[in-house]
Structure 1
Amino acid sequence: MSALLFVVPEATAPSGGHTYDQRVAAALGELGRPVRTVALGGAWPRPGRGAVAELSAVLAEAPDGSRVLVDGLVACGVPEAVLPHARRLRIAVLVHLPLADETGLAAGTARDLNARERALLRGGVTVVATSAWAARRLAEQHGLERVAVVRPGVDPAPLARGSGFEERADSVPRLVCVASLTPRKGHDLLFQALSGLRDLSWTCVCAGPGTPPPHSGLEDRVRFTGAVVGGALAEVHDCADLLVLASRAETYGMVVTEALARGVPVVAARVGGVPEALGRTSDGRVPGLLALPEDAAALEHALRDWLTDRGLRERLREAARLRRSELAGWPEAARTMAQVLGL
């Protein structure tokens, strides 16, 4: 069996997209579907000429009829480099986030990226999204008849030990936010919400790459770890009592299922695919609380409820532990991807 060519952006910092690419490629290999991953440097999705030429060369070298999967961050902004190969190659594009949904783009830039993405996705390629919500959005946004869904998997993990604040008087509730420090992840909204909770005991660990945004008055409560992976990330999850995610946009929210895999409940903004990632248990319970998006007051209210209501905390913890036992792993994601790609 010839290997699937998987073209991805070079990883410069930890992200859900990079993790997805790495894990699904490894899981495909374990299923007997070999993958050759090519990582391309460049300021994707708006790279320089050299990066575009490198992408064109990689696709040109693929034999006729080859199956090719290209990360949307690489492909969607440069249809001129991809579409000339669409007839002779079996190209699929994996869209982690619609390009125009990135927070902070100038209006003209967003329009240009959206038009480029539409040209590519309507150009005869297979389109793959990472959640049902994202598939619907892409179909509506670009007039697509079919968008396949391959949700992320999650690794089994031990139950988080947490802070032990309900058993020990010398501990306080520990909130954890695992997200890059970018405007899309909504740390400014999180800190507004936390500023209204200074009458309660808690600490918050923010784990992710980037420069910490202003958090005046919270310096003694909030700690930034920087980028963490592997064992260091596992330690962050292990100390958590609650995952908090204030994102303005998420196509899925892998950090949500990563927390649930440790039995940690979630308070998050109800955006994009986050409700899908949070899900429900087999008996219909939701293992967390969802707040209105871009609403710091709603987030503050949800956090206050969790911090002050022991019965609520117990119910959410029980639901999270049941949801933990029902999560799909990366082998299931790989099997779905193999079906979509015809491997």
Structure 2
Amino acid sequence: MSGADGMLWLVVPQGVDDPTRVSGGNVFDQRVREGLRDRGWQVRAVEVEPDPGTRLAEELSRVPTEAVVLVDGLVAMRAAGVIEAAAGRLRIVVLAHMVVGAFAGADARDIEGEARVLSCARRVIVPSEWVRSEFVERGRVAPERVVVAMPGSDDAPEARGTATGGALLCIGVVAPHKGQDTLVDALVQLGSRMPWTCTIAGSVAVDPGFAGRVAARAEGAGLSERITWAGVLTPIELDAEYARADLLVAPSRTESYGIAVAEALRRGVPVLASRVGGIPEAVRPGVAAVLVPPDRPDALSDALRRWIIDPTLRARLTDEARRTRTRRPRWSDTVDTIDATLAGLS
């Protein structure tokens, strides 16, 4: 079978295209859906709620025997019984965007569900070697059944930045695993005498309590005029933020890969990020990044201070980012890997 004559059922979370619910997983699902259609797959997308229950069972009951079904991991782990029941009749492939157990306070039911669906899938597609190694080491899946399809990035204009290097950008849902509290604490330590501004872009609806506490911390330290809480941005607005940024800051506590990191580097914007999860893979090729330990505001603040006061460091990292930006993986590379994986299923 090949994309030219293959049918594919793609099961994704409800609202995958909702511009107010932007996430790395949704972006990945969108790119895979459209990319496989471009390669000739007849993709039938099925959207279900994260806790799909009976609805997913009904949808899968109508899928022909031996059909290929690509299921988003968020849906799969919360419908483990449905996936297990269908796995004997359908060729189930799980698109696992994350390692549930890597998140602090992860729900035990989600961890169990993840283990069950990974064990019965024909293949598991993951975004980084780090995710692959985590699943294998945790005994979730045999290594030969895991395929790494790193997220790509699109061609984009080179960012112009600023003369001072002080335009900082942080992108991601405002939630504990993304570490915006670490960033704000680092900016408090950095102080207001340094020439910096910071735009934090991402939804505050996932964990409003956390978002409120972080914003209050910034306001209490007198940094409200320096920090812009931009919320969810449209693609055009996001492009504009990248264009004027000098440095992308990714202070995550856990990260499967780091799509924002790849997008910044594609535009020639250097990166300051936590050395965690798949981020070291996202910054390659090149050395246009500084990596610091996660959950360490002091280390992040020190790195920001060096960036701002040292024009030689800024020039070196920016030149490297610009020199290597066209060598970054593209979404077409991602889809090529998934296309070959699906076509080769037995």
1:291 corresponds to which residue?
292
Listed as ranges, the gaps of 5+ residues in structure 1 are 167-171
- Aligned residue identity for 1:25: R
Task: Tell me whether 1:25 sits opposite 2:30 in the alignment.
Answer: no
- Which of 32-41 and 320-329 deviates more? 32-41
Of 180, 197, 205, the residue aligned with 2:199 is: 205
- Pairing 1:175-190 to 2, within 5 Å after superposition: 175-190=168-183
1:155 corresponds to which residue?
154
Moved over 4 A (4+): none
Task: Tell me whether 1:10 sits opposite 2:8 in the alignment.
Answer: no
Assess if the C-alpha contact under 8 Å between 2:94 and 2:121 holds in 1.
Answer: no
Matched residues in 2 for 1:176 and 1:260: separation? 13
1:169 corresponds to which residue?
none
SS in 2 for 1:161: coil
SS in 2 for 1:196: helix
Matched residues in 1 for 2:66 and 2:195: separation? 60
Matched residues in 2 for 1:183 and 1:128: separation? 25
- Pairing 1:197-236 to 2, within 5 Å after superposition: 197-198=190-191, 199-210=193-204, 211=208, 212=211, 213=214, 214=216, 215=218, 216-217=220-221, 218-236=223-241
- Pairing 1:14-53 to 2, within 5 Å after superposition: 14-41=22-49, 44=50, 47=51, 51-53=52-54
- Aligned residue identity for 2:231: G
1:117 corresponds to which residue?
114
Assess if the C-alpha contact under 8 Å between 1:174 and 1:241 holds in 2.
Answer: yes
1:54 corresponds to which residue?
55
- Aligned residue identity for 1:173: G
Assess if the C-alpha contact under 8 Å between 2:91 and 2:122 holds in 1.
Answer: yes
Greater helix content: 2
Matched residues in 2 for 1:315 and 1:15: separation? 31
Q: Deviations over 1:35-81 (max 9, x none)?
A: 2211112xx2xx2xxx2111111111110111110000000132101
Of 132, 136, 141, the residue aligned with 1:135 is: 132
- Aligned residue identity for 1:279: R
Matched residues in 2 for 1:148 and 1:242: separation? 32
- Aligned residue identity for 2:203: P
Cα offset, 1:104, TM superposition: 4.0
- Aligned residue identity for 1:33: W
1:90 corresponds to which residue?
91
- Aligned residue identity for 2:166: P
Assess if the C-alpha contact under 8 Å between 1:76 and 1:99 holds in 2.
Answer: no
Aligned residues: 322
- Aligned residue identity for 2:183: L
Question: In percent, how many aligned pairs have the same letter?
Answer: 37
Assess if the C-alpha contact under 8 Å between 1:177 and 1:205 holds in 2.
Answer: yes
- Aligned residue identity for 2:149: V
2:316 corresponds to which residue?
315
2:330 corresponds to which residue?
329
Assess if the C-alpha contact under 8 Å between 2:288 and 2:317 holds in 1.
Answer: yes
Cα offset, 1:125, TM superposition: 3.1
Assess if the C-alpha contact under 8 Å between 2:118 and 2:140 holds in 1.
Answer: no
Assess if the C-alpha contact under 8 Å between 2:271 and 2:290 holds in 1.
Answer: yes
Cα offset, 1:95, TM superposition: 0.6
Listed as ranges, the gaps of 5+ residues in structure 2 are none
SS in 2 for 1:68: strand
TM-score (norm 1): 0.90
Cα offset, 1:34, TM superposition: 2.9
Cα offset, 1:250, TM superposition: 0.4
Matched residues in 2 for 1:311 and 1:297: separation? 22
TM-score (norm 2): 0.90
Distance 1:124 1:330, change over 3 A: closer
Matched residues in 2 for 1:300 and 1:102: separation? 24
Cα offset, 1:302, TM superposition: 1.0
Assess if the C-alpha contact under 8 Å between 1:76 and 1:116 holds in 2.
Answer: yes
